[in-house]
Structure 1
Amino acid sequence: MHVVVNAATSADGKLSSRRREQVVISGEDDFARVDRLRADSDAVMVGVGTVLADDPHLVLDDEAYRTDRRENNRPENPARVVADSRARTPLDARILDDEARTYLLVSEAAPRDRLDDLRAHGATIVVAGEDRVDLPAAFDTLEAESVDRLMVEGGGELIFSLFEATLVDELSVYVGSKIIGGRDAPTLADGEGFVETFPELALESVERVDDGVLLRYSVS
């Protein structure tokens, strides 16, 4: 599976404010780029924190992309994937509608009755790991479900975990012309942080987009 992490940060590296509410960082050109990335992917992934904070829909905005996918015998929207160790995804979350298939990656610690409720609301449950989601094992299951290209949209805890598990192949970061600040504001890669060895990135391109800059990296 090829994993592409895509994120937008402020100039000081924040994904949103300390309130963890959605902050608009990029503009129309970058929104279109993200929609194109989604259209090229088999699935789009977020962490449960993003679901709880933003209630994202994770479907394509441009009808032309949906049409193109249908004409190529693909679902009109990529599948949606949520890393949700304890099955905290709300039953009325927008990702549980019938616009696309939704996989919830959970651990064995997730309550059984909660999983039954989520299944009844259309979720496909993937159990991997005892207390937290075992991402490599869960990704093996997704790959068996024909997810060959996965786009990850955040948040910082999930992105750190993916780098920690050496599962990331590409990183695209839009850096906007905005300062958010705050020691408690989420960053691109939160989690415990690296202290001895660090993921190595190779800068592939730099492009001005909207009023910011898009950085593309490959991950070695």
Structure 2
Amino acid sequence: MKRPHTLVVLAMTADGKIADKHSSAARFGSDADKNHLETQIAQVDAVLFGAGTLRAYHTSFPISNPELLQWRKQQHKPPQPVHIVCSASGNLNPEMRFFRQSLPRWLLTTHRGENTWQQTNSEGFERILKADDLDNRINWLKAFEQFTTLGLEKLAILGGGGLVASLLEAALIDEFYLTLCPLLLGGTDAPTPVEGLGFSQQQAQELELLSVKQIEGEIFLHYRLHH
């Protein structure tokens, strides 16, 4: 299947948590990590994130670096990539600041989710994509086919762990950019980069390490997934 090239970009603690036990917005990354995230976002046509991530932050992460904005202009790209929220239920609060940010917004949902959103607010998204399976969940293969049809060639996945797990299960992830931050959160309920039901050792997703970089206390890891 022809589909967008995908990269997961996440910061995590030294014990592998991407948020605390309350699933609060993770703000433990340094300025170097934020610059790293912004650089990766500048390379893509769209970013994809789950409804839980949006509810935690209430915003998305637009490009603000003038050099990156200029680079996108030189590449004949719009200033901001498309920001795609995936929510099978369509249950989103239209009062979130995300809906006032100056960036293109799409919703990936189901037919039922579209009806739920439109009962709340008929505006807010420039485009609504529907990709259902028989259980009223998002069918990721159908969704990625639509992304390709709409000209999205490179896609950044910004969390959360449930979304990453679903895309791994569907073999739709190509690269991981993980920032290892020098703190510990612990907790069995604190989310990790890959949630879901997990994989057996025989089904483990193998990674090839492409690069390692240290900036002060943080370690920046770049992996390629073996399909």
Q: Report the number of matched residues.
A: 220
1:109-154 Cα deviation digits (max 9, x unpaired):
3251523655422341100013111112111111111110101111
Contact 1:30 1:210 in 2 (8 A): no
Task: Summarize the alignment of residues 141-160 of structure 1 with structure 2, pairs less than 5 Å apart.
Answer: 141-160=146-165
TM-score, structure 2 length as denominator?
0.90
Q: Which letter maps to 1:201?
A: L
What is the CA-CA distance between 1:98 and the residue it aligns to?
5.9
Contact 2:92 2:117 in 1 (8 A): no
Q: Which letter maps to 2:193?
A: L
Q: Does 1:200 align with 2:193?
A: no
137-146 vs 110-119, which moves further: 110-119
Cα-Cα RMSD: 1.7
2:65 to 43, 58, 62: 62
Structure 1 runs (4+) greater than 3 angstroms displaced: 115-119
Unaligned regions of 5+ residues in structure 1, if any? none
What is the CA-CA distance between 1:92 and the residue it aligns to?
2.4
Alignment partner, residue 224 of structure 2: 218
TM-score, structure 1 length as denominator?
0.93
- Cα distance in 2 for partners of 1:87, 1:58 equals 21
Q: Give aligned-pair identity as a percent.
A: 25
1:171 to 164, 171, 176: 176
- Cα distance in 2 for partners of 1:136, 1:152 equals 15
Contact 2:82 2:103 in 1 (8 A): yes
Alignment partner, residue 92 of structure 1: 95
2:44 to 13, 30, 41: 41
Q: Which letter maps to 1:213?
A: I
Q: Which letter maps to 1:93?
A: M
Contact 2:59 2:97 in 1 (8 A): yes
Alignment partner, residue 188 of structure 2: 183
Unaligned regions of 5+ residues in structure 2, if any? none
What is the CA-CA distance between 1:77 and the residue it aligns to?
0.6
